[in-house]
Homo-oligomer: A and B are copies of this chain.
Amino acid sequence: MSEKISPLAPKEIAVVPPIAGVRLGAIEAGIRYKGRKDLMAIVFDKPAQVAGVFTRSKCSSAPVDWCRKRLKGGKARCVVVNSGNANAFTGKKGRESVRLSAEAASLAFGCRKSEVFLASTGVIGEPLDVSGFSEHLGRLQTLTREDGWQDAARAIMTTDTYPKLSTRRFEAGGREYSVTGMAKGAGMIAPDMATMLSFVVTDLPVAADILQKLLSKSVQGSFNAITVDSDTSTSDTLLAFSAANGARPIADAKDQRIKALRHALDEVLHELAMMVVRDGEGATKHVEINVKGAASAKSAKRIALSVANSPLVKTAVAGEDANWGRIVMAVGKAGEPAERDRMSVQFGEITVARNGERDPGYDEAATTAVMEKDFIPITIDVGVGNGKATVWTCDLTREYVAINGDYRS
């Protein structure tokens, strides 16, 4: 946890309403940090339907491997998350830690091991000592509360400068429901997915397979459309739960209530993803890259990510420099179809380049005014077709280097 709060932090942390039968708690387990909570659990009184999306890293962490397998059962009774150590690249020891954690959780929360979901975030490559987990989780069991969301969201932070919570209410079938989620992530953030943990719960009763479809789709416009530093984590985990206190899950994907959930879920995931970008390590600017006129949506996304991940574009934004030459460079290096002489670039509403050269009416002062804001939308028309995509990123500052450089000298 950083001492310094991101200048892009929300004015206040969302207060999220409790969900019946969903209890959260966090304690100090002393895994790495001193004087803060670092072990968190979400406990479902009745089995919840569960869906998940994970990192595409070829070197996924032990907890990610565990969750992938457990997902097949479709049922969850708890999630246990620690910060400070990612339990990634820890070999046999890592698998053993995961097994022991699940055992401790199943005893503490009175459920099957197969209903325990796990996530870890922090340093990679150090063995995670879970010898104290039985005792810690036993104690944690007595501390979980329906209004424990904020406490839990704080416990999973690493280099985050603020806890990330989002909630939406929606009406479905004449009743009111909600979706509420938390996330952590600030560095090692790139699509597929961000280095990121996120846990989202709804009280609408939905079958696991439908929830999975909603989640896999929703992630495309949210966590899979953000990048801080192009570095994909070994540990990315997004889990969604339907905790309806035993109500029979909706099993028909065409049920009208699913549509209402989809909309709310999209909003919550998008808001959480934006919070992650706005807490990007060292970030001072929130940047939206819109690409249009591409050969396809896929091509547009590749171009947008090439721009969003370009160190030269990101450092220019940090310097409030409307350096569209670097944007063109980043479009060019993407290797996707682009018509140099039909390309246009806008910063905010201002067209700086048109038809492959500087716009005749280019106004330096007006453009600088756009760059001085903390949210900067950039729109690029690559002049080929109708494909479009949007991704979000932040700038690259000296602070990012300082945070990650661990300057020992």
A333 and B60 alpha carbons, distance in the complex (Å): 10
A205 and B107 alpha carbons, distance in the complex (Å): 81
A338 and B60 alpha carbons, distance in the complex (Å): 11
Q: Which of A382-409 contact B (CB under 8 A)?
A: 396-398, 400-402, 404-409
B311 touches A400 (CB 8 A): yes
Q: Is A328 in the interface zone, CB < 8 Å from B?
A: yes
Interface size on A, residues (CB 8 A): 74
A191 and B321 alpha carbons, distance in the complex (Å): 26
CB contact under 8 A between A341 and B311, given known A58-B332, A232-B329: no
Q: Which of A352-379 contact B (CB under 8 A)?
A: 353, 355-358, 368
B233 touches A329 (CB 8 A): yes
B318 touches A188 (CB 8 A): no
Q: Is A216 in the interface zone, CB < 8 Å from B?
A: no
Contacts of A21 in B (CB 8 A): none
Contacts of A86 in B (CB 8 A): 325
From B91, B316, B328, contact of A404 by CB (8 A) = B316
A358 and B319 alpha carbons, distance in the complex (Å): 40
Residue among A59, A232, A324, A398 with the most chain B CB within 10 A?
Answer: A59
B328 touches A358 (CB 8 A): no
Q: Is A131 in the interface zone, CB < 8 Å from B?
A: no
Contacts of A311 in B (CB 8 A): 229-231, 311, 396, 400, 404
The residues of A with any CB-CB pair to B shorter than 8 Å are 55-60, 86, 88-94, 123-127, 187-188, 190, 229-234, 309-312, 315-316, 318-321, 323-326, 328-338, 340-341, 343, 353, 355-358, 368, 396-398, 400-402, 404-409
Known: A59-B343, A234-B329, A311-B396. 5 other contacts (CB 8 A): A124-B329, A229-B312, A318-B405, A398-B401, A401-B401
